[in-house]
Amino acid sequence: MGRGYPGLRDVDDVLARLVDLVESARSLPMSASCVVNRAEVLGLLDDLRAGLPEALDEAQDVLADRTSVIDDGRREVDRLLADAEVERRRLLTGTDLVQDARGEADQVLEDAREQAAAMRAEAEDYVDAKLANFEIVLTRTLEAVERGRQKLSGRHELDALREGLHDDRPLPG
């Protein structure tokens, strides 16, 4: 997670601290709710908010890198094909070995096409791996935010129950 990308690693670290904070929070008796330090949670959420733009910038860099790798690959393919065509034409101009030259030119062209296909596949695999890694980070971020929101929602319910204890109305349920 976040190998080589400090922004992604920072977001992941803040998420881990948030999860640890909620998991280690003191549970309220007979309730799924817990007590967390609001300032600490809000501070971690602010850290997340600050780290996400950097993580998103890294994702944009990966996408830009993907485009650059693909463009470089296409230029190399075009160059290889042009070189192969030049070689094919050169070989075809000889009168004694025309048949051999055609076969050799076709083989050079086929080799260039295979190399181009391999380069395309390699570039796509690289970009796919980077995007998959980023997808995992974003999924974890969204899950942590949802858990945090659920915990805060539970805390609001607890506050409402506590306010109900201070007046003379009977508790619900």
Question: How far is the C-alpha of 19 from the C-alpha of 13, rounded, in Å?
Answer: 10
User: Which alpha helices (H) appear in the chain, and where do they start and end?
Assistant: 6-23, 38-93, 98-166
Q: Report strand pairing: 34-35 vs 26-27.
A: antiparallel
pLDDT at 1: 40
Residue 79 pLDDT level (bands cut at 50, 70, 90): very high
Average pLDDT over residues 49-65: 80
Q: What is the pLDDT of residues 106-162, one digit of tens each?
A: 898 899 899 989 998 988 888 888 888 888 988 998 898 888 888 888 777 767 777
Q: Which amino acid is at 59?
A: A
Residue 15 pLDDT level (bands cut at 50, 70, 90): confident
Separation in Å, CA 168 to CA 61, 157, 158, 160, 164: 60, 18, 17, 14, 8
Tell me: pLDDT of 69 over 60. Answer: yes
**Are 105 and 88 in contact, with CB atoms under 8 Å apart?**
yes
**Tokens matching residue 109:** 């062209």
Question: How far is the C-alpha of 63 from the C-alpha of 110, rounded, in Å?
Answer: 30
Tell me: pLDDT of 95 over 80. Answer: no
Average pLDDT over residues 47-66: 80
pLDDT at 152: 82
Tell me: pLDDT of 96 over 70. Answer: no
pLDDT at 167: 60
Tell me: pLDDT of 4 over 60. Answer: no
Q: What is the pLDDT of residues 98-107, one digit of tens each?
A: 677 778 888 9
Residue 94 pLDDT level (bands cut at 50, 70, 90): low
